[in-house]
Every structure is written in C-alpha cells, then in structure tokens.
Amino acid sequence: MKFPGQRKSKHYFPVESRDPLTNELNPVIRPKHTHVTGIDQTLVDIEAHVDEAFIQRHSLIKGNSMLIDDAAAHALYSELQQHDLVTAEFAGGTIGNTLHNYSTLADDRSVMFGVMSRNLQIGSYAYRYLCNTSSRVDLNHLQPVDGSIGRCFTLISDCGERTFAISKGSMDKLRAEFIDEELVKSGSALVLTAYLMRAGGDPITQAAMKAIGFAKEANVPVVLTLGTRFLIEQDPQFWRDFIAEHVTVLAMNEEEAEALTGQKDPLLACESALDLCDLILCTAGASGLYTAGWTDDEFKRETSHPLLPGAIGEFNEFEFSRPMRRDFCSDAFKVYSHIAPFMGGPEKISNTNGAGDGALAALLHDMSANDYHRLNLPASSKHRYSGLCYSSFAQICKYANRVSYEVLAQHSPRLSRGLPDREDSLEEAYWER
C-alpha cells in the first residue's frame, strides 16, 4: 500500500524495512493487506469527436449517458466508421475506471465483480478490456457470459462535454451468486454506481443489492457514485431513500447534487445530502471540489487556512478534522472543505471523461489506507476514535484534486501510472500548505 497523497514527514505506514532501533519494539514484519471491492457493467469506451448535429441525429442528449438498442448502435457505429471518427478505444465503466485508478494509486488490490465474454478473440473489445486494466485489479471473480461486453460510445463535443450512448451487450447479466461474500465483507469499501439500478430487469441490480447486504452486515462502507444527473432527476426521492438506507459515502458532481437535493450551490447540496449519508465527495468542474462529512465535537481540528466565505459562512473552519461515521460520533457536526483545481487545471482539456472517477479513486485510497494502518498498528493514537479515512477533509481534497488533474492531463479516464513521487513544479508547495 502506497501512502495516499504526499506529506512532508516520513514513516507514515508500517513497512517491511523500518528503523532498526524500533523494530524490536514493534515486530510487525509482514504487513497485513486490505482491498476494496466494486461492481460494474463491463464496458469499453469508444471515443469519437462529433458535432452537435451528430448528437441530435442519433436522438442523444448532450452530457447524458443513454442506453441504445442494437439498431441504433449499428447506425451510430456505421456513421463513426464511415467518417473515420473513432479516436480511441479503451476500457471504461465508471467503477472499472475507479478500481483501476485505485489500484494504480495505492499499488494494491481491488476486486471487480462483473461479466466477461467466455470466448475471447485477440483484439476483441473484451480482450482490450483485460489488457487495459491494472494487474492489481483482481478479475478472477468475473462471471463468464456467452455474449459480448458492453460498448460505451463516448462522444466528445467541441466544448469538451462528453455524451455517452451505451450498447449493453451482456454487461447487465451479472448474477448474485458471483458476488463473493467473504471478499465483500473483508474489504475496506464496496463501490457501486447508480447506473446498476437501471438494468431493466437484468440481474446485475439484484447482484448489487446482495453485495450491499453483505457490506452492511460487516459494517463495510458502501460507496455510491451517481453517474449522471439525468438518471437522478427522473426520481430524486427514490435516490434520497436509497442513499439514506444503504449508502455511507456519496460521490457526485454539482449537477447530480442539484438533481438529488434541489440545491444549486454545491455547499448547500452537500449540507442537505449529509442528512442521508456519512461522507460526500462533490466535484464541481472548473470550480474544483468539495468534501463534506461528520466529525465528533471532541475530535474536531481547526484549519490553519484562511476561512472561506460561501453559502455557509466560514464553512472550512474545521476542515483539518478527520471524517467519521455520524453514528460513531457522540456529538456529531457537519464539516466542509473545498479546493480549487490543481494549478488551475491543465493548459488544455480535450475532454473531462473520468475526472470525477479519478477523484473518487483517491478518496477510496485514503479510506483503505486507514484500514491498512488500523490492521497493522491498532494501538496507534490515530485509532483512539473510529475514523472513516486516514486523512483530514482538507488533505483528501488535495489528493482527489491532484488525481483529477492527472486524469485530465492524460486525456484518458484510466491512469497509466501513479502520481509522481516528487512534484517537479513549483507546486510541490501544494502538498505542504
């Protein structure tokens, strides 16, 4: 397990080669490991740059992720091929991306539940999916299916906005018996997407509910990412009830936050959604991102950053606190933090595909790092109280923001490598602030 983000001091984690002077006092030689689990619709992203007329011609809605039938997929793909518009094809799926990025950042194990074509042809989409997934993502529990995996036509407009058209294939055929109870229960988190709930009677929805049941039995945090505002605004009350009943950590962008709560201001949306769950990551495009959650009055820590104005005045006052589950606090109160994009964002953003998934991978890393530390150093003062994360709200903002920048700079939703160990720009100071 790598350390989540960067700090200026050493010896954060229990590692094999430690200070010889203290080794006798702390004879932990082999660290115990943690993992996270996730469920996804196995998808490849087929990326193409198109104009508005293309989006309209194929009855799509800009910015949305829509399911299309075989005839529509055929017409769309034929037009892309005819005009040679496909620019890239890579493994996708919002949870697949998140698990891949988690494993790349943490240099540690994640387990993905989903489907995979039983008979693989070299060069096929299924083959590409496997080739483009980190070897740290454990794919041994995938369910074999006779059909193909899904295709996600990722259509990039001139403004960089992405529109998804999904041709399902067999991506929703995952059955509940392929969810490994022991793996879910021993994980540091179970991560899911709202897209799993729109399978129209296919079994992946039931598989997800089964996994949620296992996670809740073992007190494993359930992490939900909302996917697209169009899905949430169809029935916001369903989603509010779903989150209140099942979800520990909620990830969303500011549009999804508005669809869920009716609040346009991300801070007010977070304040409202905190009544449903324990911790929130809310990305806000060019405005950066927010974390919001609960902490116990006894363990709160004041920020040394300037206090920020906003819809909630001086909202970042206690951003140096660590997030806790609301039920574990005896005197719980809400904490918020915000950060502007790292270095103002990359010079040129050709598309924002996967920036939110990248931020969520960083948060998951911080959560599993906390478990890892607790497993290996249970007597550490860090575990005097039960935190949901290793770091403070403010540090998580920094790390998530830094990872989003890397995804944007790479033009691909999946990181090809972890963050640099040393920042070679002026912004090394970023981690010190």
Ligand X SMILES: Nc1nc2c(ncn2[C@@H]2O[C@H](COP(=O)(O)O)[C@@H](O)[C@H]2O)c(=O)[nH]1
Ligand Y SMILES: Nc1ncnc2c1ncn2[C@@H]1O[C@H](COP(=O)(O)OP(=O)(O)O)[C@@H](O)[C@H]1O
- Residues binding ligand Y (CB under 6 A): 253, 283-286, 288-289, 341, 345, 349, 352, 355-356, 359, 401, 404, 408
- The least CB distance from residue 66 to ligand X, in Å, is 8
When CB distances are held under 5 to 8 angstroms depending on the partner's kind, the choice from ligand X, ligand Y, none that residue 393 binds is none
Cβ of 331: how many Cβ atoms within 10 Å?
A: 10
- Restricting to residues 356-375, which ones interact with ligand X according to CB under 6 A? 356-357
Nearest-angstrom CA–CA distance, 181 and 390: 25
User: Does the annotation flag 218 for ligand binding?
Assistant: no
From the list 46, 53, 52, the residue with the least C-alpha distance to 80 is 46
Choose, by CB under 6 A, the member of 166, 367, 400, 403 that binds ligand X.
166
**How, if at all, do strands 150-156 and 43-49 pair?**
parallel
Nearer to ligand X by C-beta: 149 or 267?
149
- Restricting to residues 30-69, which ones interact with ligand X according to CB under 6 A? 40-41, 43, 45, 65
Q: How far is CA 358 from CA 82, 236, 300, 324, in A?
A: 33, 25, 28, 22
Q: Residue 292 belongs to what H/E stretch?
A: strand 289-296
- The least CB distance from residue 100 to ligand X, in Å, is 10
Q: Is 169 in the site for ligand X (CB under 6 A)?
A: no
When CB distances are held under 5 to 8 angstroms depending on the partner's kind, the choice from ligand X, ligand Y, none that residue 40 binds is ligand X
- The least CB distance from residue 164 to ligand Y, in Å, is 11
Residue nearest to ligand X (CB): 92
- Do residues 4 and 369 make contact, with C-beta atoms less than 8 angstroms apart? yes
Q: Is 152 in the site for ligand X (CB under 6 A)?
A: yes
Stretch that binds ligand X, among 8-16, 30-38, 342-350, 352-360 (CB under 6 A): 352-360
- The least CB distance from residue 28 to ligand Y, in Å, is 36
- The least CB distance from residue 95 to ligand X, in Å, is 6
User: Does the annotation flag 96 for ligand binding?
Assistant: yes
Q: Residue 184, SS3?
A: helix
Stretch that binds ligand X, among 19-27, 30-38, 131-139, 353-361 (CB under 6 A): 353-361
Nearer to ligand X by C-beta: 65 or 395?
65
Q: What does the block give as tokens for 267?
A: 């801070």
User: Does the annotation flag 41 for ligand binding?
Assistant: yes
Nearer to ligand X by C-beta: 14 or 93?
93
Contacts of 193 (CB under 8 A, 6+ apart): 40, 94, 95, 224, 225, 226, 227
Q: Is 193 in the site for ligand X (CB under 6 A)?
A: yes
Q: Is 202 in the site for ligand X (CB under 6 A)?
A: no
Nearer to ligand X by C-beta: 356 or 387?
356
Q: What does the block give as tokens for 370?
A: 């906390």
Give 79-140 as a DSSP string.
HHHHTT-EEEEEE--HHHHHHHHHHHHHTS-EEEE-EEESSPPTTSHHHHHHHTS-TTEE-T
Nearest-angstrom CA–CA distance, 187 and 35: 5
Choose, by CB under 6 A, the member of 5, 93, 169, 288 that binds ligand X.
93
- Restricting to residues 394-413, which ones interact with ligand X according to CB under 6 A? 413
When CB distances are held under 5 to 8 angstroms depending on the partner's kind, the choice from ligand Y, ligand X, none that residue 285 binds is ligand Y
From the list 242, 294, 287, 232, the residue with the least C-alpha distance to 265 is 287
- Angle made by CA atoms 360, 366, 369, in degrees to the nearest 5: 140
When CB distances are held under 5 to 8 angstroms depending on the partner's kind, the choice from ligand X, ligand Y, none that residue 362 binds is none
User: Does the annotation flag 283 for ligand binding?
Assistant: yes
**How, if at all, do strands 162-167 and 115-117 pair?**
unpaired
Choose, by CB under 6 A, the member of 164, 239, 290, 318 that binds ligand X.
164
First to last CA, the chain: 24
Residue with tokens 């005839």: 71
When CB distances are held under 5 to 8 angstroms depending on the partner's kind, the choice from ligand X, ligand Y, none that residue 341 binds is ligand Y
Nearest-angstrom CA–CA distance, 166 and 168: 6
Instruction: Count the helix, strand and coil residues of the chain and give each as a percent rounded to the nearest 5.
Output: 40, 20, 45
Indicate the annotated binding residues for ATP. 283-288, 356, 401
Indicate the annotated binding residues. 40-45, 93-97, 198, 283-288, 356, 401
- For ligand X, the binding residues (CB under 6 A) are 40-41, 43, 45, 65, 92-95, 97, 152, 164, 166, 193, 195, 353-357, 413
Indicate the annotated binding residues for GMP. 40-45, 93-97, 198
